[in-house]
Amino acid sequence: MGASSNDADRRFVIRPATSDDIGKVRNLLVATWHDTYDSLLGVERVTETTNRWHALDVLTTQAARPNASFLVASQSGEAVGHAFAVEQDGDVLLLSRLYVLPTCQRQGIGDELLRVAVRRHPGMKRVQLVVEARNTKALAFYGRHGFMITGEIEEEEPRPLRMEMTVSGDPNSARNACPANEL
């Protein structure tokens, strides 16, 4: 049976972001941050943080960083997911960001972003990240990929947890490997 036009609309590709994607990635981050953190941190704080952390010049600099992957999941020309992973000293890949647009979650985009990010850094043996302790979606997602909680960061709000996953020998596998760190 052929794919319907609806199926075609839902297909996505994962690739390194270009300069044309930066504004779209920012919009995706702002929308997903509000959806994820407003109830935990308050709208004002989320607006202030995302304006600072996801300013166009900040994202542009990150996208040009060596030993890093600044990825976009693109669907019908729109940015529906984004991951930013950075090699650390030694064999650790820090998954600094993993965000999927709320309307596009639970379609396997997060899975694929994680898989591609890990695959692009074959020398990395561990993936680390930081996640808000009350972010139940993210905890479920990372738990499914084999991440274990390795510690807490001493802060009142947010309440960040460190997680780590060991990368398996299979470079295609994200489920047995992976990431690390921007809430």
Q: Which of 22, 110, 118, 164 binds ligand COA (CB under 6 A)?
A: 110
| CB closer to ligand COA, 2 vs 159 | 159
The yes or no reply on residue 50 touching ligand COA (CB under 6 A) is no
Strand-pair category, 160-166 with 126-132: antiparallel
- Least Cβ distance, residue 91 to ligand COA (angstroms): 21
Tokens of 47: 């607006």
d(CA 88, CA 40): 29
Q: Residue 142 to residues 27, 81, 156, 165: CA-CA distances in angstroms?
A: 24, 16, 23, 9
The strand pairing partners of 95, in sequence order, are: 85
Asked if residue 28 lies in contact with residue 82, where contact means CB atoms within 8 angstroms, the answer is yes
| CB closer to ligand COA, 81 vs 87 | 81
Which residue is nearest to ligand COA, using beta carbons? 110
d(CA 144, CA 147): 7
Q: How many residues bind ligand COA (CB under 6 A)?
A: 21
Q: Name residues contacting ligand COA, limited to 115-174 (CB under 6 A).
A: 129, 131, 135, 137-138, 140-141, 144
- What residues line the site for ligand COA (CB under 6 A)? 32, 36, 98-100, 105-111, 129, 131, 135, 137-138, 140-141, 144, 183
